[in-house]
Structure 1
Amino acid sequence: MPTIETGYQAEQALLRARLDGDAQERGCVVVGPAGSGKTTILEALRNRYAGPVLTVSGVRRTPDLVFGHLPACRETTAPEGDRPAAWLRWAVADACRERSGTALFVDDAHLLDDDAAAIVHSLVVHDNVPAFLACVLDADRSPAPAVRSLWKDRHLPRVDLPAIGAREVRDYLTRVIGHPVTTRDVAAFTRWSRGAPATLVDLTASSLEADQWEVVGGVAVLMQRPSPSVEERERLAEAVEGLSEGALAVVECFGAATPVIGTRMLDWLPLGPMIDLAGWDALLEAERCGVIEADTTRVRLTVPFLADAAARRTPALRRAELAGRLATAIKVGSGTRTGASLEDEALALTGLLALTTPQGASAGVRLAAARSAHRLGDPEAVRALAAPRADIHSADDPELAVLYAWALIHLNHLESLRVLTVRWADEPLPAWRGLVDFLTEFGRRRKLGGRAFLDLHDSDEGGLIGGVAERMSRDRMSGAWFCFLLAETAMLVGRYTEARGLLDAVGSAADDDGLLMFHLAYVDVRLQTAVSGADRACADTERIRQASGWRSDQVCAAADFVCGVAHANAGRFDDALAELRDSAPFLVATRLEDSSARLMGRITLMSTGTGWRAGAAPIEVPVDPYALLTVSELTLDRAWSLAADGDAAGSVDCLLDFAEAITGAAPTLAVDHFELAARFLVPGETEVTRRLTAGVGTVAETVEPARRIDALSGYAGAVRTADGAGLEAVAERYRSLGLVPVAADAFAQAADARRAAGATPAAVTDHLAAKRLAEAVGGLASPAQRLVAAPLLTRREAEIVALVAQTRSNAQIAEQLQLSVRTIEGHLLRASGKLGVRDRKALAEIWREQLSASCA
């Protein structure tokens, strides 16, 4: 079982209850369904109550059993025979009067009988005893009228306990598992627990005991659905037994489909085939009973584990027969469905369900299903459909085998891919020939490098785009992937117009492979950031994420990763951290496995200057553009780590060395490193700033004109000359590009340069702008920000200037602060010198400006 501090549970419970101070002192009735945490809240309130307490439970029901065990009742002589309720009521009341402030705590108050409930009511109403009650209130259980009267007649406030939401689920899972968890898993546990903390605790315990979590890049990912507790399974079994015939038929269909839909479709089944299979009447009956929920196209169980309970009581052959009938119904109905996403979901589900039947699935069904799964971006489903025996040789059809090969590429199973391509080396199918050509081009780019690779294909008829069109005419999918190779390379070398044209040329062919979207979007982020700015890149990635929401979990996670990269550039650190965490499932089986973790660590360093540190960056610069992207990110990680350790000079050397080394091969990546070096430098003419200016000049001559490169050219020049006005103008340009962290640092450097030049008022303005932007991104711990971290005024100076801004005279200020007028005048003189003003009016104006900026 997971262990968690009692104090933490209590704190979370009280937050959910939203109890005000009065309710915690005079008493309240906490109302909620079973398992909602009422007892935990009652215990938390009891532990916090300042005075003595009497604790009873409604489970005992009758007055003598509820109150008779209390010391006050045992020590008092009882009347002969059974002790009447009136005597028990006075005994408890006397005990409360003897110990001033004694409170009564009643758990399971809905179980009290009428006499016991009347005693509690009387103690509250007539004896003013503070009372705290926990009470279930639902259709099956209703408390005694005397208990209901407590809140109906407003003797005690009623506190309705809300169901736990996603935030509470995330907090609990993170606390218990010891790692952050994905939004997908938070949503799953929120749905499975149905708002009940007790169920959440049981399911979490089950998942930990079964070792169903895998930590990927510091993020916990649930790999299998947990099993309910024994008690919950028994309750679910009883619920299934009590279902009507129609509702049971619906649940049995879900039981047959659970092995497939539980991991791929969020427990949804298409509505049309379910109507054909179970019938409208059965579905309506199940909906009336609260067994299912539906929208216009889909249906699923409200309690997912009912499907498991139904499957356990359904014979294996019956389950197989239901799966086959469901697969047939989906296949027949899929052609009448609207929308490519619905069609692909239906076809993929058809094939996967057919695989679970004794007769299996025909090659035709498997091929249609595998193509749909490929469009959905689910390589595991493609692999299962193309090679049902998890064996290369079971991919016995060339069209299935080529889909299997693409799945192996996505899953990074390179050795299996090599064996498969050798086996089908002589296959003339265009899809196979296209795949082999793509792998050849991929290897050629790794060997030649980006520029030589583009030079090679510039000679294609029609240039780069013409070469893509020719390949796509032979095989759409491999042609689209070849287009990605060219687009990424063109972006890296600074041929931005061609990169945009290539991305546009892919068109609808990208839809043939759901995961191609991730690679194209990653290129687009870098392209848009260079040409149009970070805001445009963020908007585009958000649009792509919305458009791909119908695809697989892997595609959605890939979209999250791309959004995380875009938002990190823009300084939207909270969004970026959440998205990068959610991308972990996608990265499990790829070469980017640790990318999200590293970028999350870098964001932490950028925003706080503490925590994660990167190791040494690779010394050699690779020729392979793919590897170059990885080494570039590792170098940026290392630079931020050095800066966090106070070695800004070492960080700048690291950045400049790498940027100069890759300017010829990938000038777009060099921009990232030159830009960060500019942010880490102290403005002024030095050998390092001259080196920066020369490097940026080379990049500007190498790439096509772009807004970010223009901004960087101005940045390098202003840093070298310590031009405060120039740095301020650069900061404004970067702010317009949406690159807020860069703008914040440029403002800070402008403030430093202007202060050194004696332009104190302008320095104050830039100082405030830097602080405002750093606060907007949630904190920025760069060397430039440390230049403006210290306040310009002391606490006493700030206090006095604030009073001046309120039009107080020196004498009034001296009287209020109990200081002499001469002391006040001295503080104002020093404050005016620091802020570069000569009179009280200007001093007050600057203070109001600073106050307004800090509140913005």
Structure 2
Amino acid sequence: MHRYSRHVISGDPLAGRDSELGIIRRALSGAGKHSGVVIAGAAGVGKTRLAREVLRRAEASGERTKWIVGTESACALPLGAFIGALGEAMSDPLANVRRVIDSFVAQQRKARVLLGVDDAHLLDGLSALVVHQLAQSGGTRLIVTMRTGGREPDAVTALWKDGLLARLDLEPLSAAATRELIESTLGGPVDARSANRFRKLTGGNTLFLRQLLSDQIAAGRMRQLAGVWMWDGDVAVSATLSDTIARQMGRLSPGVALVVDTLSQCEPLAVDVLCDLVRRPDLAAAESMGLVNVERTGASLMARLAHPLFGELRRASAGEMYLSGIRGRLATRLAEEGDADMQATVRRALLRLESDLDPEPGLYLESARHAMTLLDLDLADRFAAAATQAGAPGAAGVRAMNLVLLGRGEEAETALRDMVDSGLPDGHHWATVRAANLIWILGKPQVAAAILEDLAAGSETPAQAAERLAVQACLDAVSARCELAAQNSRAALSFEALPGFHAMMASLALIMAMGALGEVDELASVAEQALRRATTSFQASHMRFWFGAVYGRACRLTGRIEEFVGTAKQLADSARDVPGLAYANLALLLGNAELVRGAAADAARLVHEALAGAERHAVTTGLRAASYFALAEAHAKLGQATEANDAVDGARACVSPDFLFMHTALSLAGGWAMAASGRLSEAVASARQAAQLARDRGQPTHELACIQAAAQWGDASQAARARELAKALSLPLADAVALHADSLLTGDGEGLLAASAAYRRIGDLAAAADTAAQASVAFDERQHHRRGLYAAALAKELADNCGGLCTPALRTPAGLKLSGRQRDVVELVVAGLSNRQIAEKLVMSVRTVEGHVYRACQRVGAQSREELASIVRSGPGDGGTG
């Protein structure tokens, strides 16, 4: 860590304090019995900033304000805080008190006065008396700040005890408020892990938070990736932050400093262990100074630093050789205790790795496996590399496997090829891992196919054949050979001793195949077994979130949305403080869960975090492509055409032509982006083409998804095929799509409302909103206006419940029946194209375009094409839609 110069940043000073601001506003309004508020809280929690901002806003509205500060230096002077109001005419103390009070009363007669008193706990007795008398008079409104934990004048305490002022205990910022403040300061979203890290280090202390954030920006540790701010690396500590923390810590004796430095390297520590490394009196002194907290846990005492930034400051200022010695002594002492769990083993191994002790290869290798289980692949790579360098048997294989999971495909390919070429007895095993790396990470399924063919042509044990079939199933799945993928994956999974990595490969392929085929009977049980395996196998642990996303796709294709949302929550709850690349996969999983239930805005936020993680770790896995798919759909459903099209461009750049299984998702992402851009005819044509390809490849649920999307865009031409799929698949989703397409074809408003209800039961609120909006148009076309109003209100309610959708169906007001070319023209008007540009795009004359626009304006009472666009954008329930 390093020290950096000060870098000042700014943002909304009240970010995260909306509820507190409301309390202050009510206290100052005069509506109640109080004439102001006392803001009490710990140092740095943001009392002064909050009070000053309230005064600033009062000044901006024309009110008169006065700001008085209590200080240690003025505390020794009678009326020290108000000495500026006395001038040179000094008299006896009580007369001076009366003069100050009268001056405020006189000001109050001229205009409303708001008096701010900062650090009231430092007021001298007479100054506190003035404040109390002003509050008692009720003529002057006050906002007073006071630090808790110390002694304050009785007159200040009486402010709230006597009911003169309301008391607001200002707590540290919550996790949500911390994130809000960070994003307000940065002017953009921050990923959840970084926000949590700031919250953990600062404890919600506003002063520390602002300075720590400033330091990370100045040091280049905060970076914006894929539009999301992320915090990488260690903590940068500036001189300003060091001085602030040092003032709180005070002067440390060498013994107390050793206590703090030891805990800075490893906490919490049992007091018995710690006192073998430091003197017990020094620990007691550190506790009495408020530097260390000692708590009883069961039968033992545990010590930890009172504030995380104490440790960061000491780490930033101490020498590396000094700290290496501390880590070595800690590692040696902890080894005597024995490790209670894998976290303890990893902690001890990291201490030894960064100490002045000799390497311990076996410990490093064991900890690499544990770190993989704990989802920290970056730390696992450090341990595996150290174990390999120290000559631990099997370490090279663990590192190669970890490189695959990290998405570092080229490095993994080099390591795995060398292992296979070296003629080791387990060369067959590593050849299958290499094939998996080529399929999933490097996007070279054809190269993987050649490797698997060579293995199949040779002599194999049953165990080797099972491993090969597991990876072969993946190759079949990505190549859209769904029946064969299911067959090979089941054959592999029938071998009970299948390694964790290969078992997850087979499970992934089977879930993909079953989802595409619409086979749901075993879907949940296969997922449950795979996720159970992920908690016990270091090879499989990291794949739990990736597998969860694939399972989610299968659930969506088969209409099991609530099941997916529940599984996503369960997976998120299964691991805390998810690190690095694992969090990116978790963010995608949670984002997809939000997207399938219709919460497009929440989905976009989470998936942007996933994409930022993919960029941060430079991975080329399906994580990146899947993130782009989800972003295109989410932004399109929010009516954000530019962002949707950008996501589609990103998806096209990273989807391999050989990954046939992704083609449906890519086509639908592109279709949603085109629909958001007003190119509905192109969107529908793309969906139809993708549906035909899926049909040719034997992917009936993929075909169904294309038909559903086209129906949401107003196309009912595939109604007959939807009925055939509903009969073949026997899925509630297929029945809903068939009813949707049929009712759209016949203009049956009641049928569309029934389809909307069916989508709601499945859990797809966005599709339900679109279908209700289409029902509104159908009712209005048949002069059933009351039913049309009801359907429009239902569509708006559903769209609002999703956080605000703006799809093509929801942009169509009731009473404006749009179909064919007229719909295309109006959508392009909404997209901002001129009549000539629309004519060129749709290959028609400008006069024809003008006719369509004129008739559409007549239908909704618009006076111009701009007003038409505004009405269409407003959606059902607004802009004259009823």
TM range (shorter): 0.7 to 0.9
Q: Aligned in 2, Cα 1:144/1:789: closer, same or farther, shift over 3 Å?
A: farther
Q: Aligned in 2, Cα 1:680/1:285: closer, same or farther, shift over 3 Å?
A: farther
Unaligned 5+ segments in structure 2 are 1-6, 440-447, 450-471, 818-859, 861-875, 878-882
Q: Give the deviation of 1:180 after TM superposition.
A: 0.6
Q: Aligned in 2, Cα 1:423/1:706: closer, same or farther, shift over 3 Å?
A: same
- Does the 8 Å CA contact 1:331/1:346 hold for their aligned counterparts? no
CA–CA distance in 1 between the matches of 2:651 and 2:158?
77
What's the CA shift string for 1:760-786, capped at 9, x where partnerless? 454444334333322221222222223
- Does the 8 Å CA contact 2:545/2:589 hold for their aligned counterparts? yes
Are 2:27 and 1:19 equivalent residues in the alignment?
no
After TM superposition, the structure 1 = structure 2 runs for residues 425-574 of structure 1, keeping only pairs within 5 Å, are: 425-427=420-422, 433-440=428-435, 442=439, 443-444=448-449, 450=478, 464-470=489-495, 473=497, 475-494=499-518, 496=520, 502-503=526-527, 506=530, 508-511=532-535, 512=537, 513-531=540-558, 533-549=560-576, 552=579, 554-573=581-600
Q: Aligned in 2, Cα 1:741/1:248: closer, same or farther, shift over 3 Å?
A: same
After TM superposition, the structure 1 = structure 2 runs for residues 833-848 of structure 1, keeping only pairs within 5 Å, are: none
SS of structure 2 residue aligned to 1:787: coil
CA–CA distance in 1 between the matches of 2:319 and 2:651?
62
CA–CA distance in 2 between the matches of 1:496 and 1:377?
30
SS of structure 1 residue aligned to 2:638: helix
Q: Give the deviation of 1:304 after TM superposition.
A: 0.9
SS of structure 2 residue aligned to 1:214: strand
Are 2:67 and 1:92 equivalent residues in the alignment?
no
- Does the 8 Å CA contact 1:607/1:781 hold for their aligned counterparts? yes
After TM superposition, the structure 1 = structure 2 runs for residues 36-75 of structure 1, keeping only pairs within 5 Å, are: 36-47=45-56, 48=58, 50-59=62-71, 60-61=74-75, 62-63=77-78, 65-70=80-85, 73-74=86-87
Are 2:330 and 1:326 equivalent residues in the alignment?
yes
Q: Give the deviation of 1:644 after TM superposition.
A: 2.4
Are 2:228 and 1:219 equivalent residues in the alignment?
yes
The aligned counterpart of 2:688 is 656
CA–CA distance in 2 between the matches of 1:642 and 1:653?
11
What's the CA shift string for 1:177-229, capped at 9, x where partnerless? 22211222222222322333222111111011011112232211111343344
CA–CA distance in 2 between the matches of 1:293 and 1:659?
65
CA–CA distance in 2 between the matches of 1:182 and 1:325?
36
Larger deviation: 199-208 or 284-293?
284-293
- Does the 8 Å CA contact 2:569/2:590 hold for their aligned counterparts? yes
Q: Give the deviation of 1:19 after TM superposition.
A: 0.9
The aligned counterpart of 1:831 is none
The aligned counterpart of 1:256 is 265
The aligned counterpart of 1:186 is 195
- Which residue identity does 1:555 align to in structure 2? A
Pairing partner for 2:797 from 772, 784, 788? 772
- Does the 8 Å CA contact 1:468/1:480 hold for their aligned counterparts? no
After TM superposition, the structure 1 = structure 2 runs for residues 123-138 of structure 1, keeping only pairs within 5 Å, are: 123-125=134-136, 129-138=139-148
Q: Aligned in 2, Cα 1:412/1:746: closer, same or farther, shift over 3 Å?
A: same
What's the CA shift string for 1:334-367, capped at 9, x where partnerless? 55x3xxxxx3322322322221122343221111
The aligned counterpart of 1:612 is 643
Q: Give the deviation of 1:731 after TM superposition.
A: 2.1
SS of structure 2 residue aligned to 1:226: coil
SS of structure 1 residue aligned to 2:171: coil
Unaligned 5+ segments in structure 1 are 258-266, 338-342, 683-688, 793-833, 835-849, 852-856
TM-score between both structures, scaled by the size of structure 1: 0.77
The aligned counterpart of 2:158 is 149
SS of structure 2 residue aligned to 1:786: coil
SS of structure 1 residue aligned to 2:151: coil
CA–CA distance in 1 between the matches of 2:558 and 2:69?
69
Q: Aligned in 2, Cα 1:152/1:597: closer, same or farther, shift over 3 Å?
A: farther
Q: Aligned in 2, Cα 1:283/1:156: closer, same or farther, shift over 3 Å?
A: same
SS of structure 2 residue aligned to 1:783: coil
Are 2:769 and 1:744 equivalent residues in the alignment?
yes
The aligned counterpart of 2:184 is 175
- Which residue identity does 1:693 align to in structure 2? A
Q: Give the deviation of 1:556 after TM superposition.
A: 4.5
The aligned counterpart of 1:31 is 40
SS of structure 2 residue aligned to 1:203: helix
- Which residue identity does 1:88 align to in structure 2? N
TM-score between both structures, scaled by the size of structure 2: 0.75
Q: Aligned in 2, Cα 1:53/1:547: closer, same or farther, shift over 3 Å?
A: closer
Q: Aligned in 2, Cα 1:197/1:629: closer, same or farther, shift over 3 Å?
A: farther
Q: Aligned in 2, Cα 1:783/1:581: closer, same or farther, shift over 3 Å?
A: closer
Pairing partner for 1:717 from 742, 751, 762? 742
Pairing partner for 1:108 from 110, 113, 119? 119
CA–CA distance in 2 between the matches of 1:117 and 1:623?
70
The aligned counterpart of 1:379 is 377
Q: Give the deviation of 1:168 after TM superposition.
A: 2.5
- Does the 8 Å CA contact 1:605/1:644 hold for their aligned counterparts? yes
Q: Give the deviation of 1:408 after TM superposition.
A: 1.6
CA–CA distance in 1 between the matches of 2:283 and 2:688?
66
Q: Aligned in 2, Cα 1:2/1:386: closer, same or farther, shift over 3 Å?
A: same
CA–CA distance in 2 between the matches of 1:628 and 1:271?
59
- Does the 8 Å CA contact 2:359/2:390 hold for their aligned counterparts? no
* Identity in percent: 21
The aligned counterpart of 2:866 is none
The aligned counterpart of 2:760 is 735
Larger deviation: 426-435 or 202-211?
426-435
CA–CA distance in 1 between the matches of 2:427 and 2:332?
30
What's the CA shift string for 1:39-95, capped at 9, x where partnerless? 22332333305443444332233246543434xx43xx73xxx54334433443453
CA–CA distance in 1 between the matches of 2:747 and 2:272?
69
Q: Aligned in 2, Cα 1:779/1:125: closer, same or farther, shift over 3 Å?
A: closer
After TM superposition, the structure 1 = structure 2 runs for residues 262-273 of structure 1, keeping only pairs within 5 Å, are: none
What's the CA shift string for 1:707-745, capped at 9, x where partnerless? 323332333333333333333332222221111111222
CA–CA distance in 1 between the matches of 2:626 and 2:156?
58
- Does the 8 Å CA contact 1:216/1:593 hold for their aligned counterparts? no
- Which residue identity does 2:64 align to in structure 1? P
- Does the 8 Å CA contact 1:215/1:221 hold for their aligned counterparts? yes
Q: Aligned Cα RMSD in Å?
A: 4.1
CA–CA distance in 1 between the matches of 2:26 and 2:508?
61
Q: Give the deviation of 1:518 after TM superposition.
A: 1.8
- Does the 8 Å CA contact 1:351/1:361 hold for their aligned counterparts? no
Larger deviation: 501-510 or 44-53?
501-510
Pairing partner for 2:174 from 158, 162, 165? 165
Q: Give the deviation of 1:576 after TM superposition.
A: 3.1
What's the CA shift string for 1:263-315, capped at 9, x where partnerless? xxxx7679997698779999899778572477779975341122234446766
The aligned counterpart of 2:132 is 121
The aligned counterpart of 1:800 is none
